[in-house]
Amino acid sequence: MRRLQNPAFSDKALKAQESVITGYVKLLIHKLHGEASGAADADGAVVDMNSWYNFTTFDIIGDLAFGEPFYCLRDASWHWWLHAVFDIFQAGTYLRAARRFPSPLSEMLLLLIPRRLIKTRVAQFKFGVDRVDRRLEQETDRPDFMSYILQGSDEKAMTVDEMYAAAQVLIVAGSETTATGLTAATYLLCENPHTLARLTAEIRDAFQDEDGITIQSTAGLSYLNAVIEEALRLGPPGPGTFPRVVPDGGRTVCGSFVPAGYSVGVHHLSINRSPAHFREHDGFHPERWLDDPRFESDKKAAAQPFSFGPRNCIGKNLAYAEIRTILARVVWNFDMKLHPDSAGWLGRQKMFTTWHKTEMKVYLSARKR
As a whole number of angstroms, the distance between CA 307 and CA 94 comes to 22
Residue 108: phi, psi to the nearest 5? -65, -40
> Long-range CB contacts (< 8 A, 24+ apart) of 55-59?
55/28, 56/24, 56/25, 56/27, 56/28, 56/179, 56/326, 57/174, 57/175, 57/176, 57/178, 57/179, 57/182, 57/322, 58/82, 58/171, 58/175, 58/179, 59/24, 59/27
Known binding-site residues equal 313
Rg (CA), the chain: 21
As a whole number of angstroms, the distance between CA 19 and CA 192 comes to 33
Known binding-site residues for heme equal 313
Helices (H), 99-192: 105-110, 115-137, 145-149, 160-191
Q: Are 14 and 321 in contact (CB under 8 A)?
A: yes
Contacts (Cβ under 8 Å, ≥6 apart) of 209:
none
Residues 339-367 as b or e (16 or more Cβ within 10 Å = b): beebeebbeebeebbbbebeebbbbbbbe
As a whole number of angstroms, the distance between CA 202 and CA 200 comes to 5
* Dihedral sign of CA atoms 178, 182, 183, 187 in order: positive
Tell me the β-bridge partners of 363: 46, 337
Contacts (Cβ under 8 Å, ≥6 apart) of 283:
none
Alpha carbon distances (Å) from 148 to 3, 16, 69, 134, 152: 12, 11, 18, 16, 8
Contacts (Cβ under 8 Å, ≥6 apart) of 68:
62, 131, 134, 135
Q: Which amino acid is at 287?
A: E
